[in-house]
Structure 1
Amino acid sequence: MVGGFIDAYTFEQRGGSLAAMQTGNIIFLSVDVAKRNLPSLMTKVAAILFFSLGVLAVSLFKHRHNTHYWRIPTLLLEMLVCIIVGFEPRSVSDIFAVPPLAMVMAMQTTAFNAIEGHGYNSVYSTGNLKMAMIAIGEFHFHHNRSQLISALLYLELVVAFAAGAIISALLQLSFNVHAIWFAAVGILLIIVGYSIALHQKNIHFSD
């Protein structure tokens, strides 16, 4: 939901750019090149670069911290960036909003990349939709219940992403650039819930 929320926000409030879906940014960048739209071009180039740096940062960070709680700092940074961006008026260049969001989106999808043993993308839906359809096809031919569970899981992720985008669009009607603060609240709830789950899991293993 957070991935859909933030991409809908940047597309509508921050110059038609995307924080997470770099495939879209590459396409929009090509259009900007053709139209010689330099300001928007630079924002998308920076978003792609910062997204790449976010993936690299998490890849390095997780090998330096031998703890189950290593993912939480990525969420804290994401929440902080959302809060800061919400204070930036539209008069501020999009290059100060979209690339930082792209970086934390990359950190989120790199840190959280599996659920119930299934690899997934947490900030875009193409791969999740593909995996859902593959699982449905496998279930049709083999009637393996695990494939049906996989299909439902991936479809749930797709629906959540779409729901996040819809909620974002609706909130933007009233809150404009400040709507992203609701994403920050959502991330805070995730941090609390995830921390509690990890704590309970550690207690279970210690017993």
Structure 2
Amino acid sequence: MKQTRQISDSVRLGLLLAISGGFMDAYSYLFRGKVFANAQTGNLLLLGLNIFEGHWDACIKYLVPIVCFMIGVFLATCIRRSFQSYKKFHWRQFTILIEAIVLFSVAFLPQSMNLLVNSLISLSCGIQIESFKKIHGLGASTTMCVGNLRSATSLLSDYIYTKDKEDLKKGLLYLLIIFFFVMGAVVGNVFIQSMGQYSILICSLLLLVAFLSMFYHPESY
């Protein structure tokens, strides 16, 4: 029973983070100048196109968030190494709390500072993707969908041939993560329409809930 409870909590946390990931991407793209905060592939592509066309001002728009994403990954790694043996808090709680604080500050920055905003969101995404690499024991991302979609398709394809129910369960879990990511983007769009730049506060609140939830079964994370 204990193992089941821990797995359930981990899945709930992962889905909550997936909603947050979709929300952040919708916010940065729809409200902050059409920059992808999560999927740096899009930013790399747009960076390359702008370099080719000689639009150097636009290059900065995409280059800085890419660098900040890398800084976020580096920061999460440093936190893990520094606080992995800390008893009162799990190191992942530190990373979620940092994310929540960063996104809270973003809500009060005007659109004239979109470069800084998108850089901070990319920093948060880098922290999240490095801190939470697994859900229910599966390698999964809560900030982008390509890898999850590939894994879901592969597992469901295996199930067709093997009839192994574990493959089916794993494949459906990946699809569930993708669904919650998309719903995060949908919810983000709704709140953007009504709250504008302050809508990102909802995302900060979601991360705060995730932070607090980890106090109940910290060993499962």
Q: Above 0.5 in TM-score?
A: yes
Cα distance per residue 1:15-47 (max 9 Å; x no partner)? 111111100111122333355444432121011
Q: Select which of 148, 159, 173 maps to 1:153.
A: 173
**Which residue of structure 2 lines up, in the alignment, with residue 56 of structure 1?**
74
- What SS does structure 2 have at the residue aligned with 1:19? coil
Q: Distance in 1 between matches of 2:187 and 2:34?
A: 18
Q: Select which of 87, 90, 98 maps to 1:69.
A: 90
**Which residue of structure 1 lines up, in the alignment, with residue 205 of structure 2?**
185
Check 1:31–1:176 CA distance in 2 against 1; reply closer, same or farther (3 A cut): farther
- Does the 8 Å CA contact 2:39/2:144 hold for their aligned counterparts? yes
Cα distance per residue 1:42-76 (max 9 Å; x no partner)? 12101111111111222232122214600011111
Shift of 1:197: 2.0
- What TM-score do you get using the length of structure 1 for normalisation? 0.91
Q: Distance in 2 between matches of 1:107 and 1:29?
A: 22
**Which residue of structure 2 lines up, in the alignment, with residue 133 of structure 1?**
153
2:159 is matched by which residue type in structure 1? F
Identical amino acids, percent of aligned pairs: 24
Q: Distance in 2 between matches of 1:56 and 1:37?
A: 29
Pairs within 5 Å for 1:15-34: 15-34=33-52
The reply on whether 1:85 has 2:106 as its aligned counterpart is yes
- What TM-score do you get using the length of structure 2 for normalisation? 0.85
Shift of 1:86: 0.5
The reply on whether 1:144 has 2:164 as its aligned counterpart is yes
Pairs within 5 Å for 1:33-48: 33-48=51-66
**Which residue of structure 2 lines up, in the alignment, with residue 105 of structure 1?**
125
2:96 is matched by which residue type in structure 1? L
- Does the 8 Å CA contact 1:4/1:161 hold for their aligned counterparts? yes
Q: Distance in 1 between matches of 2:52 and 2:167?
A: 45
2:188 is matched by which residue type in structure 1? S
Q: Which moved more, 1:68-77 or 1:7-16?
A: 68-77
RMSD: 1.7
Q: Which moved more, 1:31-40 or 1:53-62?
A: 31-40
Q: Select which of 182, 192, 196 maps to 1:176.
A: 196
Q: Select which of 130, 133, 140 maps to 1:120.
A: 140
Shift of 1:128: 0.4
- What SS does structure 1 have at the residue aligned with 2:216? helix
Structure 1: stretches of 5+ with no match in the other structure: 203-207
